[in-house]
Amino acid sequence: MKISWLGHSCFEIVDSEGRTIVTDPFDDTVGYDLPRVRADVITMSHDHHDHNNIGVVEGEPPVVTGSGRQTVAGIEFEGVQVFHDELGGKLRGKNVIFCFSVDGVRVCHLGDLGHLLSEDEVNAVGDVDVLLIPVGGVYTIDAAGAKKVVEQIKPRLVIPMHFRSDAFDVDPVDWFLEGQKVERPGKSITEDDLPIEGRKIVLLECDRPSDR
C-alpha cells in the first residue's frame, strides 16, 4: 500500500496489486499542478470544482459518489453522508466521507467535512488506520475542529489536507500542526509508516505544487 498526496484533497492510493484509487481530483484554481495520474477508481466527496475534475484522470475510471456501500474494482467503499458546513448543508451542500481498505489498511477520506461528527457518524466511519482530514477552515473544519474530529475517530495516522496555497486562501497547515509532533516523510507513505502504538501526524509533500 502506498499513499501519495497530489495536492489539495487529492491522493493517489495504490495497493499491492497495482490497483489505484484517486480521491477528489481538482482543477487549476487551487494553486497546485496536478501531475498526470491514471486510476482504476475515483472517489468524489462532492461536486465542487476543486474536487470533481474527473476528466484529468487517465484511464476513464468509474467514479464512486454518494453514501452507502459500493464495490468497484474489487474494493469495497463505504460512503457516509455528512455536510459541507455546520448548518446541515444550507450553505455549501452535502459531503460524503469515504472509507475503504487497501491491503488491510483502512483509509478514511473526509472530503470537505464542515462540522464535528455525531455519535452515529463516528460509528458509521468505524475503525480507521489512516485519516485524510481537511484543516484549512473557511469552507471546512478549521485546525481546532480538525483536532476534535481526530479525537472522535481515533486513527493511527493522520494526514492533513485542504489548507492554504498561493491560490487558495484558507488557513495554513501550520495552525493544525502547532503543538504536535509531526513527521515529514516526503511525497508518500506505506503501511510500514503506521505506528505500532499511539498516533502519528504526517505532512506529505506534493509532486509539483506551484506554491513551493
**Number of domains present in the structure of the chain:** 1
- Residue 210 placed within a domain: no
DSSP the chain: -EEEEEETTEEEEE-TT--EEEES---TTSSB-PPP-B-SEEE-SS-STTT--GGGSBT---EE-SSEEEEETTEEEEEEEEESSSSTTTTT-EEEEEEEEETTEEEEE--S--SPPPHHHHHHH---SEEEEE---SSS--HHHHHHHHHHH--SEEEEES--BTTB-S--THHHHTTS-EEEEESEEEGGGS-SSS-EEEEEPPSSBTT-
Q: For residue 132, give the CATH number of its domain.
A: 3.60.15.10
* One-letter amino acid of 98: F
% of the chain beyond a pLDDT of 90: 91
- Residue 6 placed within a domain: yes
- Residue 169 placed within a domain: yes
Give the separation between CA 142 and CA 113, rounded to whole angstroms.
10
Cell digits of residue 144:
481546532
Average pLDDT over residues 131-155: 98
pLDDT at 159: 98
- Residue 209 placed within a domain: no
pTM of the full structure: 0.96
- Residue 106 placed within a domain: yes
- The confidence band for 207, taking pLDDT boundaries of 50, 70 and 90, is low
Q: Report yes or no: 69 and 99 within 8 Å, Cβ to Cβ.
A: no
- Residue 212 placed within a domain: no
- The confidence band for 170, taking pLDDT boundaries of 50, 70 and 90, is very high
pLDDT at 110: 98
Domain with 67, as residue range(s), is: 2-204
Average pLDDT value for the chain: 94
* One-letter amino acid of 172: P
- Residue 211 placed within a domain: no
Task: Decide if pLDDT at 211 tops 80.
Answer: no
Interior angle at CA 204, CA 49 and CA 81, nearest 5 = 45
- Residue 14 placed within a domain: yes
Task: Decide if pLDDT at 208 tops 80.
Answer: no
